[in-house]
Amino acid sequence: MSEARVGAEAGYASSATLDEIASWLRTRRRVCVLTHAKPDGDAIGSTIALVRTLRLIGGSWADPAHIKAWYYGPLPTWTKSIAQSDEFEAVSSSKINENGVEDTEPDAIVVLDTGSWNQLESVTPLLKGREDRTVVVDHHLDGNPDVAERRFIDAKAAAVCVLVAELCRLLLERESVTKLPAGVAEPLFLGIATDTGWFKHSNVDARALRTAADLIEAGADHSRLFRETEQRQRSGRLRLVGRALSGMELHLDDRLALLSVAAKDVHETGVGLGDSGGLADYALAIEGVEVAAVLTEVEGEGRPLTKISMRSKSAEDPIAVNEILTAFGGGGHRQAAGARYEGTIDEAKKELVRLVKEALS
Residues that bind Mn ion (CB under 5 A): 42, 113, 160, 195
CB of 159 to Mn ion, least distance (A): 5
CB of 194 to Mn ion, least distance (A): 8
CB of 310 to Mn ion, least distance (A): 16
The Cα 58–Cα 60 span in angstroms is 6
CB of 163 to Mn ion, least distance (A): 10
Nearer to Mn ion, 140 or 169 (CB): 140
308, 291 Cβ separation under 8 angstroms: no
Nearer to Mn ion, 50 or 160 (CB): 160
> What is the maximum span of the chain, computed from C-alpha positions, in angstroms?
64
Nearer to Mn ion, 269 or 309 (CB): 309
CB of 333 to Mn ion, least distance (A): 8
Nearer to Mn ion, 192 or 241 (CB): 192
Amino acid of residue 351: E
First to last CA, the chain: 10
Nearer to Mn ion, 189 or 240 (CB): 189
The Cα 276–Cα 249 span in angstroms is 17
The Cα 139–Cα 152 span in angstroms is 9
The Cα 54–Cα 67 span in angstroms is 7
Q: Which residue is nearest to Mn ion (CB)?
A: 42
CB of 210 to Mn ion, least distance (A): 18
Nearer to Mn ion, 141 or 279 (CB): 141
CB of 81 to Mn ion, least distance (A): 20
CB of 35 to Mn ion, least distance (A): 9
b/e per residue 342-353 (b: at least 16 CB within 10 A): ebbbeebbeebb
CB of 36 to Mn ion, least distance (A): 9
Nearer to Mn ion, 113 or 265 (CB): 113
Nearer to Mn ion, 142 or 195 (CB): 195
Nearer to Mn ion, 149 or 154 (CB): 154
The Cα 269–Cα 264 span in angstroms is 8
